[in-house]
Amino acid sequence: MSESVLETGRRAFLGDLRLTIQLVEGIAEVEIAWHVARTRWREGIATEAATAVRDHAFGDLGLRRLIALVRPDNDASQGVARKLGMEVERTAVFHDLPHLVFLDAAERLEPEEPFGDDAAGDLERR
């Protein structure tokens, strides 16, 4: 899946966003990747678009895990990944360069039972 990000009304190209399968150190991963036109950096465009694609991936597509590959010196993309709720899982060499592997797992996004599975039964028995 690859999509262009266009500005509503003007149809101006702002960047692109995609889900792609990457082989990272021998492991097939689904990556969410974003690129924004330099003239439009720091406007929240990547975060807004990536949030929608992440929600689509976990909801409509049923994916359980997404990664983002970010170079250690790319503070802006690290910020986008963190705003998406992603956390650094590990470092990896990808295309002969070091990358941070940010992880977003669907399980983390779903509400958890705050008192465990047996809590409801315990309350009913009281």
Give residue 8's pLDDT.
52
Residue 36 predicted with pLDDT over 90 = no
**For residues 106 and 32, is the Cβ–Cβ distance under 8 A?**
no
Cβ atoms < 10 Å from Cβ of 56: 14
Among residues 37, 26, 31, 12, the alpha carbon closest in space to that of 84 is found at: 31
Q: Could you read off the pLDDT of 52-110 as tens digits, one per residue?
A: 999 999 999 999 999 999 999 999 999 999 999 999 999 999 999 999 999 988 765 54
**For residues 74 and 35, is the Cβ–Cβ distance under 8 A?**
no
**For residues 85 and 104, is the Cβ–Cβ distance under 8 A?**
yes
Give residue 40's pLDDT.
81
Residue 5 predicted with pLDDT over 60 = no
Which domain range does residue 29 map to?
2-125
Alpha-carbon gap, residue 55 to 63, rounded angstroms = 10
Higher pLDDT: 111 or 59? It is 59
Instruction: Give me the DSSP letters along 1-40.
Output: -EEEEEETTTTEEEEEEEEEEEEETTEEEEEEEEEE-GGG
| Global confidence as pTM | 0.75
Residue 28 predicted with pLDDT over 80 = yes
Higher pLDDT: 51 or 115? It is 51
The domain tally of the chain equals 1
Collapsing DSSP to helix, strand or coil, 124 comes out as: helix
CATH number of residue 54's parent domain: 3.40.630.30
What band does 25 get if pLDDT is binned at 50, 70 and 90?
Answer: very high
